[in-house]
Structure 1
Amino acid sequence: MSRSSTGAEAGRAAGRPRRRTAVRTAGFGAATAVSAVTAFTLGLGVLGGGTALAGTGAPAAGPVVTRAGLDPALVEGRGANVGFAEQEAEHAATDGTVIGPGRDAYTLPAEASGRSAVTLKPGQYVEFTLPGAANAINVRYSIPDAPAGGGITSPLNVTVDGGHRTTMTLTSQYAWLYNLYPFSNDPTADVSHPDWWVTECGCVPQDTTPTPVFAKPFRPNHFYDEQRLLLGRTYRAGQKVRLTVPAGAATTTVDLLDSQLVAPPKIDLGAANVLAFGADPTGRRDSADAVDRAVAFARRAHLKVYIPPGTYQVNRHIIVDDVTIEGAGSWYTIIKGHQVDLVTPAPGGTAQPEGPGGGSVHTGVGFYGKDASVGGSSNVHLSGFAIEGDVRERIDTDQVNGIGGALSDSTVEGLYIQHTKVGMWFDGPMRNLRISGNTIVDQIADGINFHTGVTDSTVSGNFLRNTGDDALAMWSEKAEDARDTFDHNTVQTPVLANGIAVYGGTDNTVSDNLIADPIREGSALQVGSRFGAQPFTGHLWITGNTTVRAGTYELNWNIGLGAIWFYALERNIDADIQVTGDDFLDSTYNAIMLVSDFPVKDLYSITDVHFKDIRVDGTGTSVLSARTAGGATFQNVEARNVGAVGINNCGSFHFTPAGSEFTVTDLGGNDGGGTTGPWLAPWELPNTITCDDRPAVVPPPAPSAW
């Protein structure tokens, strides 16, 4: 999550107290900088792997289309219905080097979709066979940073069947962050918070005050970016798109290629056309004032605003209220802006009607509703254009988001948002917002955040990749988010924190989403009493979701997280929480975790959580890790390929003769297991202590049909 201040949280080793440390509020810490210097200088990660199709074990043959790096049949009905075909580079023809699979933090494989990619040196290629007709592609890639930070550019040649060559100019200007939260662009910087506990220090901080020496660059991350390209004509299925790194270019890692058939641009002759108000479709002149004039006229005349094909330079917020703005399509209408320094920081509030607020030191391109303190905006409808920002560092007070403010009774549909701080950040109170069919990629922080009193609203059918914090979040910081739904969204490779997180609120739903490859300091799904959130009340339904390769190593705690994890930090979690019909596939550690922070383990508990009709296919350790007081019920939870004892029950670490403080209730139908036997064995019930602080990890086989 994006934050206005770093705050403080506790770093600890699970099961043993550690010194309180000022850990950033957006997550936790990190692991050792594995191959950090190599990754920084060469753009390489862990080598190895092959070209087997994840989820099938079969070698690639012809075009291989996957969803979240899996056979689409394994995730059918989950996630967004996108208009493109996603093909992983490791399944394509190449004379480059397949890197991965690997999940160690701070390496290129770990941040790749499916945890593998292809690294190309100058002269090498990767070639994709089109699975269907296409006139547009999108390439997800990584190139090295500049030695002193700030990024470089490098060419990549694109040919189809050996002809029609186009050269893309790749950049790492929006990638490569370093150090501790809120991160740095300087790879040579010393540790930014030497007083924080970090696992790279091999000392005992409660007994000493060390000054450890850390490898530089320290904790490199956020390696990937992506770039779209219209091919100029339609190619048929079976034709081959080859990406070649030319001589003299930088070593380039290609993660995947998306291909699609983009519809012709939309035309609206009856709308207020921004060109008539002086907008410049070449992008050479700033068009913000022209868009404002078109919006003002359209409101008076009760018309829509139309932005035709072109690139429009907009370097500040466009304030919207009671207006419809539509583009020709997100591939054709590009609203692109520079990040602009403010002479003085903006005043308090989070999105003042006249522009950025909350202490912002920059402004940039974005469409903002009025601040909730002045009533917010309503009846706003945005569709069919791209917002491309210029955010290269994380400053949590900055209002440099793609969409912001308060928007009630409104819709946001069919946008492409890239390189802003947060794709969409809403500060309530506000109600009845519908967000659907958008693509949000390459964010410094969150994808979409419902912050403070967002009610009766829906986020559905959206695709989010490479967010720098929670991809989707409900954050009830000052007022409850209530009756909101996150449904049928796809989240891939959130670099930091969680795929979907719910912090407090009442009667909310998270349903039929697909979350893949969370990378560090979080996992696929989180339910957390933290960040000053209001309590959970009423119910929370988590239904029909699929997680893939989730469960990261929590590097301040030095333990693995669950694919879904419940975290009691600031209060009890005791609402009616139903986790029903979810699939947890290839979990790196455990599938389910319930945990309270060690300093508050005797204050807060997690109760009234119910798991039903769950499938667990592959865990590195247990099905359930309980590290808190409380309890949960389990019914029809099927598990296979479980790497350790089914339940790792530590309770609140008092290890009393009466057993654990966490109670497991078996409601029947729980079967399957792994090498140690049934995952839910009679001897584990109801509260047998089975605590293994850091169990050995047994990598599971790839998921397969149930």
Structure 2
Amino acid sequence: MPRAVFALPAILAAAVFAAPAAHADPAPPPAGAKVTRAALDPALSAGRGASVGFAEQEAENAATDGAVIGPDRTAYTLPAEASGRTAVRLTPGQYVEFTLPGAANAINVRYSIPDAPGGGGITAPLNVTVNGGGPRTMTLTSQYSYLYNQYPFTNDPNADLLHPDWWITECGCVPAATTPAPEITKPFRPAHFYDEQRLLLGRTYKAGDKIRLTVPAGSNAAWTVIDLLDSELVGAPHVRLAAANVLAFGADPLGRRDSAGAIDKAIAFAKKAKLRVYIPPGVYRVDRHIIVDDVTIEGAGSWYTIIKGREVALDTPAPDGSVHTGVGFYGRYAQDGGSKNVHLSGFAIQGDVRERIDADQVNGVGGAMSDSTIDGLYIQHTKVGLWFDGPMNNTKITNSVIVDQIADGLNFHTGVSNSLVRNNFLRNTGDDALAMWSEKTSNANNTFDHNTVQSPTLANGIAIYGGAGTTVSGNLVADPVREGSALHVGSRFGAEAFTGGLLFSGNTTARAGTFELNWKIGLGAIWFYALDKDIAADVRVTGDHYLDSTYNAIMMVSDWPVKDLYSITGVRFKDVRVDGTGTSVLSARVKGSASFENVDARNVGAVGINNCGSFGFPPTGSEFSVTDLGGNDGGGTTGPWLAGWELPNTITCDDRPPVVAPPAPAPW
């Protein structure tokens, strides 16, 4: 047995025991240190969303000589993708200064800088000073930002349309079939502007200390947008002495050599010796998948143990269609038997994915894993943070941070059952942040509970596509940008039908509801879409809060070509609060039914129910029936939101009502 298996090298051990210990700071935040959650007063989402170790502060609430941009919810703009739809723009020489709300030894900056003129990104400096002391320089990058054009997007801002044979709203035409061909403004549909970067400060600072971010004079970035600062008191690195230490097998903690082979050897040894694998502090280069099965791998903590890889082009496509590989921890694929008893914790996975290629397996965690746990990971710059292809059973993902993804944050795909996603934080995903997709085989008995989702740049915060026995509870979802909203129930993408129960309980959404380009209408904070099949399961929405919805709070919809084929029936809403809608509480654009009990609303901008049904407009009333079970109070500019509209299913169809921006949400 190698002697180093049970001991850390002296240099790393010294770093471990010199690090500060985490402790709670009981003092109230000092003046000027405004802490929010998803740009909300924390009281508005108390008990909901993830409990995280950092304090989030919006740049627009900090001291600055820069310019506040926003608010703006228009897609393809910098404010729209910012937390709270507002940020601060700095030019060289300008600063934004945050007052620490509590003790901290680490910060995370969410920012945007320009792309290179031909795409591919640039790097630019940002100086960090504490209390006016000598600056440390962060090197910001836009190499992982900026997607353009039509799905699946491109990094080239000067590209012509990827699909000239698709209908687009900008010209209301199919460009390839239009004479003369329309001029399309370039860059076309720019998106995914932001990135974030973490920095250990080297010592602990106290509440009231000043963190100043300054763009140095002469920066090659014409502007730098600062969205927010997270500050955190990071505890000492985790140490596991009785373990297969990857250093003993040749891993390089300085990242000069690829450590994948050394980690493989540590895993093989640990399985034989019935030990855990330990990855001590360091940056380890891994440019391919690490295959995991019946193994526990622990890092020193996601701030200390970083598994970082480059995206590598394959000489020939893999059998699954991948043309690249990259860093990731993968269970065996389900067709190969899947993996079991995998436990991953306490490290970061940082990829190198800059373009969206859906066939590529370049996710942070992938494959199939049953009876497994994933805890305390930080995943950045991969295609999808965690994508599981079942069948698989009984896996828990907890206490992790997933940011800056090209596509989804996490997806339970095909036959995932009895699994839990709890207390995770997701920001800046390029597709659904949390999804369950029952393609080919139904998912069953899974739960998304007490997670925070911020600023998904495409699609939804939380999306459920088919399945049985699903629970979505206690989550906080804010600021979806385009082609989706905060919460979504979709019979689409070839998903199996919804069966059994589907429960949404105790969720809060903020500033949700995007403008659907093709339909030219606004989506609801929660929206149900019957495209492929009926939605006819036992669906209950209980205790949700929908705050500052851009359009309507609740939407039931079907696409025009199938409006007479599919319905949404029997959805029950109870004990729901709606605080602010640009238009209605409910927009019904499908045949079916829903009931409402103790649904209270205020600051409603249009008629309480916009009931189009399936657009047949029969004299007997709408094809969508609304049942009032009592206790439905409040309303807005047109009076009580439910009064009279449910009997006899009055048609109140207004395709595009004027949007009345509501006041900011407040305690109920």
Do they fold alike, i.e. is TM over 0.5? yes
Tell me the CA shift for residue 459 of structure 1: 0.1
Residues 229-628 of structure 1 correspond to what in structure 2 (within 5 A)? 229-249=199-219, 250=221, 251-347=223-319, 358-628=320-590
Whole-angstrom distance in 2 between the partners of 1:547 and 1:596: 23
Tell me the CA shift for residue 204 of structure 1: 9.0
Q: Which runs of 5+ in 2 are unaligned?
A: 1-29
SS at match of 1:151: coil
Which amino acid is 1:605 matched to?
A: S
Residues 197-208 of structure 1 correspond to what in structure 2 (within 5 A)? 197-202=167-172
Whole-angstrom distance in 2 between the partners of 1:202 and 1:507: 41
SS at match of 1:618: strand
Which amino acid is 1:319 matched to?
A: I
Post-superposition CA distance 1:207-229 (Å, at most 9, x none): 96662211110000000000000
Shift in alpha-carbon separation, 1:183–1:204, aligned structure 2, 3 A: closer
Tell me the CA shift for residue 203 of structure 1: 5.0
Pick the aligned partner of 2:99 from 129, 134, 147: 129
Pick the aligned partner of 2:58 from 76, 84, 88: 88
SS at match of 2:271: helix
SS at match of 1:291: helix
Whole-angstrom distance in 1 between the partners of 2:247 and 2:522: 54
Tell me the CA shift for residue 681 of structure 1: 1.2
Q: Who is 1:109 aligned against?
A: 79
Scaled by the length of structure 2, what TM-score is found?
0.94
Post-superposition CA distance 1:259-285 (Å, at most 9, x none): 000001111110000000000000000
Shift in alpha-carbon separation, 1:445–1:115, aligned structure 2, 3 A: same
SS at match of 1:682: coil
Q: Which of 1 and 2 has higher RCO (CA within 8 Å, sep 6+)? A: 1
Pick the aligned partner of 1:163 from 118, 121, 133: 133
Contact residue 182 and residue 395 of structure 1 kept, 8 A:
yes
Aligned residue pairs: how many?
637
Which amino acid is 2:560 matched to?
A: F
Alignment RMSD: 1.2
Which amino acid is 2:448 matched to?
A: F
Post-superposition CA distance 1:49-95 (Å, at most 9, x none): xxxxxxxxxxx951000001011001000000000000000000000
Whole-angstrom distance in 2 between the partners of 1:425 and 1:145: 29
Whole-angstrom distance in 1 between the partners of 2:467 and 2:327: 31
Shift in alpha-carbon separation, 1:580–1:258, aligned structure 2, 3 A: same
Q: Who is 1:660 aligned against?
A: 622
Contact residue 165 and residue 177 of structure 2 kept, 8 A:
no
Whole-angstrom distance in 2 between the partners of 1:207 and 1:285: 53
Tell me the CA shift for residue 175 of structure 1: 0.2
Which amino acid is 2:382 matched to?
A: T
Whole-angstrom distance in 2 between the partners of 1:282 and 1:206: 52
Contact residue 627 and residue 646 of structure 2 kept, 8 A:
no
Matched, 1:73 2:43: yes
Post-superposition CA distance 1:463-499 (Å, at most 9, x none): 0000000000000001111000000000000000000
SS at match of 1:163: coil
Which amino acid is 1:262 matched to?
A: V
SS at match of 1:299: helix
SS at match of 2:84: helix
Task: Report runs of 4+ in structure 1 exceeding 2 Å deviation.
Answer: 202-211, 683-686
Whole-angstrom distance in 2 between the partners of 1:432 and 1:446: 21
Q: Who is 1:22 aligned against?
A: none
Tell me the CA shift for residue 375 of structure 1: 1.2
Tell me the CA shift for residue 608 of structure 1: 1.4
Contact residue 524 and residue 551 of structure 2 kept, 8 A:
yes
Whole-angstrom distance in 2 between the partners of 1:627 and 1:604: 11
Whole-angstrom distance in 1 between the partners of 2:427 and 2:177: 42
Whole-angstrom distance in 2 between the partners of 1:529 and 1:107: 30
Whole-angstrom distance in 2 between the partners of 1:61 and 1:529: 49
Whole-angstrom distance in 2 between the partners of 1:147 and 1:228: 27
Q: Who is 1:140 aligned against?
A: 110
Which amino acid is 1:613 matched to?
A: D
Contact residue 194 and residue 211 of structure 1 kept, 8 A:
no
Contact residue 179 and residue 192 of structure 1 kept, 8 A:
yes
Shift in alpha-carbon separation, 1:636–1:313, aligned structure 2, 3 A: same
Residues 164-243 of structure 1 correspond to what in structure 2 (within 5 A)? 164-202=134-172, 211-243=181-213
Which amino acid is 1:651 matched to?
A: G
Whole-angstrom distance in 2 between the partners of 1:103 and 1:339: 33
**Identity in percent:** 78
